[in-house]
């Protein structure tokens, strides 16, 4: 049975959201199991570009992001585990939480966890044919630091075999300093993360 996994549409003020909406969304394969693209799950990009989201958080506060995936097969896949995709030269913080959303909406940034919209636990979730939206939280404790990730590295099962997928979504959590504000460096970090994530996606 097809499962309509959808992501949240609510966004908090002050979040920087850069969406590439110039064309139709396309699915890009990075799954591997003996040979590239052997699995059925794909990352969703827009004209080859990932979405970029960033925003400010207090030290230790989770920053919430979303990555899109697409199951091209008629049979469901089962999610096993996930980790952050690091961006070389920048701290990634830690993956505080990950889940599958049940509402569709724009990719964006929010503060805190759990999300405002319904989610199901990531491990063991079954994704049927079509789009699914993975919500994850990244956190870091050092004030004045911009934590970056290029999305989620996903392990999943399909027809008794395990596969990996990189679901690209440039994500930046700007931990505020004594002023309580992220400052211009957060916008620059978002641009850097977007460019680095696009390069990683192009090599997949």
Does the pLDDT of residue 186 top 60, yes or no?
Answer: yes
Q: What is the mean pLDDT of the chain?
A: 82
Closest to 42 measured CA to CA, from 16, 72, 62: 72
Helix residue spans in 70-183 (DSSP H): none
C-alpha 50 chain-centroid distance:
10
| Domain range summary for the chain, segments of one domain joined by + | 16-203
Is the distance from CB of 54 to CB of 172 less than 8 angstroms? yes
Q: Pairing mode, if any, of strands 94-101 and 130-139? A: antiparallel
Q: What is the per-residue pLDDT for 204? A: 77
Distance between alpha carbon 143 and the CA centroid of its chain, in Å? 23
Task: Report the SS3 class of residue 202.
Answer: helix
83, β-bridge pairs: 153
How confident is the model at residue 184, as a pLDDT? 78
Q: What does pTM read for this prediction?
A: 0.81
- Cα separation, 10 vs 196, in Å, equals 27
- Neighbouring CB atoms inside 10 A of 128's CB total 16
Q: Is the pLDDT of residue 45 over 70?
A: yes
CB 45 within 8 A of CB 26: yes
Could you report the per-residue pLDDT of 100-154, keeping only the tens digit for each? 998 876 668 999 999 988 999 999 999 999 999 999 999 999 999 999 999 999 9
CB neighbour class for 51 (10 Å; exposed up to 12, middle 13-18, buried from 19): buried
Residue 19 in 3-state DSSP? coil
Q: Which residue has the tokens 């759990």?
A: 114
CA 171 to chain centroid: 7
pLDDT in tens, 1-33: 333 333 333 333 334 333 333 333 445 544 444
pLDDT at 46 over 70: yes
Provide the 8-state DSSP code for 102.
S
């Amino acid at each position: 049975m097809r499962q309509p996994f959808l992501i949240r549409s609510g966004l908090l003020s002050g979040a920087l959201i850069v969406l590439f909406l110039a064309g139709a969304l396309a699915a890009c394969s990075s799954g591997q199991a003996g040979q590239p693209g052997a699995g059925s799950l794909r990352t969703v990009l827009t004209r080859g570009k990932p979405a970029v989201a960033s925003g400010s958080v207090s030290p230790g506060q989770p920053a919430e992001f979303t990555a899109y995936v697409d199951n091209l097969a008629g049979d469901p896949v089962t999610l096993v585990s996930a980790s952050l995709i690091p961006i070389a030269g920048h701290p990634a913080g830690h993956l505080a939480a990950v889940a599958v959303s049940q509402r569709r909406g724009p990719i964006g940034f929010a503060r805190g966890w759990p999300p405002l919209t319904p989610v199901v636990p990531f491990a063991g979730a079954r994704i049927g044919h079509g789009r699914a939206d993975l919500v994850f939280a990244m956190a870091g404790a050092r004030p004045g630091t911009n934590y970056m990730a290029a999305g989620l590295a996903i392990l999943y099962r399909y027809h008794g075999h395990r596969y990996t997928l990189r679901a690209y979504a440039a994500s930046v959590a700007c931990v505020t300093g004594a002023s309580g504000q992220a400052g211009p460096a957060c916008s620059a970090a978002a641009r850097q993360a977007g460019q680095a994530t696009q390069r990683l996606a192009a090599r997949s």
